[in-house]
Amino acid sequence: MTQKSTQTMTATSPRLQFIDVLRGITVGFMIMVNNNGQNELAYRAMNHSPWNGFTPTDLVFPTFLFVMGVSVVLSFRGRRAQSTPKRTLLLHVLRRFVILVLLGLIVNGFPYFHLETLRIYGVLQRIAVCYLLASLLELATGRIAPRILLFVAALVGYWALMRWVPVPGYGLPGRDIPLLDPDRNLVAYLDRHIFPGRLFEGTRDPEGLLSDLPSFASTLMGMMAGWYLKRTRATWRTFAVFLLSGLISLAAGLLWSQSFPLNKKLWTSSYVLYAGGWSLVLFATCYLLCELWQLRGRWTLPWIVFGTNAIAAYVFSELLSSAVATFHIHSRLSIQQYVYSHFFRLIGSPAFGSLVYSVVFAALCWGVVWQLYRRGIFIRL
């Protein structure tokens, strides 16, 4: 569904503009790191950590979920103010969940849609699950205590499952097999039995079913920030609370990572805290710039364009990426390979050429959503 208006929607009001800015930065960087030109030649920061560890790219997805958690809280506040019935809200949530899952399947299958090997998991599917859980929680209660309890339970529960539950056929992690072994872990084991032959990496999937649990914890961090945000005014104390919370979360994540490593593909509990800490620091920074210092205008516009049509920008980028990687100039080179090797690879070092390709690809996607923005069209699922 689209909404057309001569004014920007509520989410870009002066009070909330910094949220769209952060969402836009996240989506823009997400598009860039997903389209490197050639991953093995790109700067390390532009690729996910191969397994244990952390790069700036590993910050993108949890920050998007964090911002979504904030937005769910603020969105429901507005709907409650309009006395929207709970049944109407629930139907909207379910409808959006289904649409996100279907969009995820379209992105996974495009352009040929080989149904026998179609990947079921995906980024949009994980967003859908976290959105559904966050919305149901917000519908059930606006109190902070249940969010804190669920957050702690998700992190501790996931750690206990990954550390103390034997993996059938392999044994107990940390005793019979290495903790967080790439293929011999509970997440990968379950996914191979639920969707055999449909996993992104063959034997495992970075958006596996069990790791939705700690992913929801990333969303809960945003919900807790949103709960605090809607109860306060733009003050330096609010900025300090967000910044200090981020620094504490960073320290806690690093401390826990000594025994439960940072791992984006398994979305470990330490990774939730560490990535969430960075999300809070970025959240505080955007809050400082846009709300306290009132620095809005030219620098915020590009990110607001992305932020107000985030899902549309992401879906378009993924479909375009699949198209240029699938269709060929001739039998040997795809469109993407041809363009990269004949133009961008020749610009300076291979890593720099890869970065320029990423920037150009993201700029092209931005141009598409800019046309929507300037016409006042916001695609709302």
Tens-place pLDDT, residues 299-351: 999 999 999 999 999 999 999 999 999 998 877 889 999 999 889 989 889 99
Q: How large a percentage of the chain has pLDDT more than 70?
A: 96
Residues in CB range of 285: below 8 A, 6 or more apart: none
Rounded to an integer, the average pLDDT of 222-242 is 93
**What's the whole-number average pLDDT of the chain?**
93
| Chain CA centroid to CA 186, Å | 23
Please give the full DSSP string across 264-324, using - where no structure is assigned. Answer: TTTT-HHHHHHHHHHHHHHHHHHHIIIIIS---STTTHHHHHHHHTHHHHHHHHHHHHHHH
Would you say residue 286 has pLDDT above 90? yes
**Which residue, among 362, 374, 273, 280, has the nearest Cα to 36 in the 3D structure?**
362
Distances (CA, A) of 268 to 59, 227, 252, 278: 13, 25, 13, 15
Q: What is the mean predicted confidence (pLDDT) over 166-171?
A: 97
pLDDT score, position 83: 82
pLDDT score of 12: 40
Most confident by average pLDDT, 5-9, 13-17, 192-196, 339-343: 192-196
Residues 6+ away with beta carbon under 8 Å from 377: 2, 3, 4
pLDDT in tens, 76-86: 988 877 888 99
The model's confidence at residue 53, banded by pLDDT at 50, 70 and 90, is very high
CA-nearest of 149, 163, 121, 125 to 270 is 163
Share of the chain above pLDDT 90, in %: 84
pLDDT band at 262 (very low <50, low <70, confident <90, very high): very high
**Cβ neighbours around 293 below 10 Å, total:** 9
Give the β-pairing of 377-379 and 2-4.
antiparallel
CB 58 within 8 A of CB 47: no
Whole-structure pTM value: 0.94
Mean pLDDT over 245-273 rounds to 98
Which tops the pLDDT comparison, 330 or 143? 143
pLDDT over threshold 70, residue 190: yes
Question: What's residue 215's pLDDT?
Answer: 98
pLDDT for res 199: 97
What is the pLDDT at residue 299?
93
pLDDT of 355 higher than 60: yes
**Predicted confidence band at 245 (pLDDT cuts at 50, 70, 90)?**
very high
- Cα-Cα-Cα-Cα dihedral of 363, 125, 287, 14, to 10°? 80
Beta bridge partners of 377: 4
Q: How far is the C-alpha of 335 from the C-alpha of 36, rounded, in Å?
A: 14
pLDDT of residue 132: 98
Q: Above 80 in pLDDT, residue 11?
A: no
